[in-house]
Amino acid sequence: MLYQLPLGDGVPAANAMKLLLRWAITSFSLFVAAWLVPGIRVQREAFTVFAIMAIILGLVNAIVRPILKLLSCPLILLTLGLFVLVINGFSLWLASAIAVNWFHVGFYVDGFLPAILGSVVVSVVSVILTALLREDSR
């Protein structure tokens, strides 16, 4: 008889799988951004750098980004949503600064313009991969 983990009706396992898939997509998106954007560089070409950076970026997006969006709501409305690109770039830049200074992970963003371009690349690659994987699951 095989031992089965007590996961209930499978909902926690499905949520864990979605979280891991989202983490892998973000890691790959950061890899593509580092490959395409000239101002984003990685100290060493290891998957661990992108994996740790994806966790840090996820935490920044979950904690800091909603506060920034709330505080800049008038600017977002005034620019018809384009100010969100600035917020996304700041989030990527902040996550890189946290990764480099606190965790000594070699993911460097060399300015605000590379941060904005990198956040656009990360967003586009994440949307495409999520859509492709969602199509496969149907």
Residue 13 domain-assigned (yes or no):
no
Give the integer Cα–Cα distance in Å for 95 and 97. Answer: 5
DSSP letter at 108 equals E
- Assigned domain for 9 exists: no
Q: How many domains does the chain have?
A: 1
* 114/37 Cα distance (integer angstroms): 6
Q: pLDDT tens track of the chain, all 138 residues?
A: 444 445 555 567 778 888 899 999 999 999 999 999 999 999 877 789 999 999 999 999 999 999 999 999 999 999 999 999 999 999 999 999 999 999 999 999 999 999 999 999 999 999 999 999 876 555
Question: Would residue 105 be called left, alpha or beta, if left means φ above 0 and alpha means ψ between -120 and 50 degrees?
Answer: beta
CA–CA dist 109, 118 (Å, integer): 9
CA-based nearest residue to 115, from 95, 97, 90? 90
pTM (2 decimals)?
0.85
Using DSSP, state whether 13 is helix, strand or coil: helix
Domain that includes residue 53, residue range:
20-137
* Chain mean position to CA 35: 15
